[in-house]
Amino acid sequence: MLRHGALLEFEKEADLPEVKALAARTWEFADFVVHALGVKTWPGRYDARIAFHRNCHNRGTDSEAAALTLLGSIAGATVVPFGEQEQCCGFGGTFSVAFPHVSSSMGTLKLEHIRAAQPDVLVSGDMSCLMHMGGLAQKAGQPVKTQHLAQVMRDALKNGGLLR
């Protein structure tokens, strides 16, 4: 949002140059690791079938591809496809407050598609999405393990004996 949304929010403000400067040095995690640091393979091991949720605020960026590059490089990790992967989970910040029934329905539908792929873990670069879908799954009595991409990367290092 800082790279894209903030520029729209401040386009007629006097401090737009400062906002642009902040946006230029702001990165999403996976995008930073792959494109700024040049890391394309991640060491360690993570034995799991992973359903990767593509969060809406990263649409039109290189962040999704970067996350999939990292996940695909981890020994033992398999990213599994599922139906309607591009669909929103329904959380969307204030959207879930303004339209709670629509938000819940969208998240529940997304979870149905994810469950059909039988992953071991649902991974995303967006904690809000994971909180939303994890909460819906818990409420339905069908908990789903969720992890942020950074947690998977940390666990891969631990499982590979590279991190204590």
Per the CB < 8 A criterion, the answer to whether 141 and 65 are in contact is no
- The per-residue pLDDT for 112 is 97
| pLDDT of 60 strictly over 80 | no
Query: pLDDT for 27-52, tens place per residue?
Result: 999 999 999 999 999 999 999 999 99
φ/ψ of 51, rounded to 5, equals -95, 120
* Between 4 and 7, residue with greater pLDDT: 7
Tokens 């598609």 belong to residue: 113
| pLDDT of 161 strictly over 90 | no
Q: Would you call 131 helix, strand, or coil by DSSP?
A: helix
Whole-angstrom distance, CA of residue 29 vs CA of residue 36: 10
Through-space distance between the first and last CA atoms of the chain, rounded to whole angstroms: 34
Cα distances from 63 to residues 21, 38, 147, in angstroms, run 20, 13, 17
Strands 75-79, 146-148: pairing kind: unpaired
Interacting residues of 69 by C-beta distance below 8 A, sequence separation 6+ = 30, 34, 40
pLDDT band, very low/low/confident/very high, at 56 (cuts 50, 70, 90): confident
* Amino acid found at 133: M
* Amino acid found at 117: A
| pLDDT of 4 strictly over 80 | no
Instruction: Classify residue 144 as exposed, middle or buried by CB count within 10 Å of its CB (0-12, 13-18, 19+).
Output: buried
Interacting residues of 11 by C-beta distance below 8 A, sequence separation 6+ = none
Q: Model pTM? A: 0.91
Whole-angstrom distance, CA of residue 64 vs CA of residue 28: 10
- The per-residue pLDDT for 105 is 96
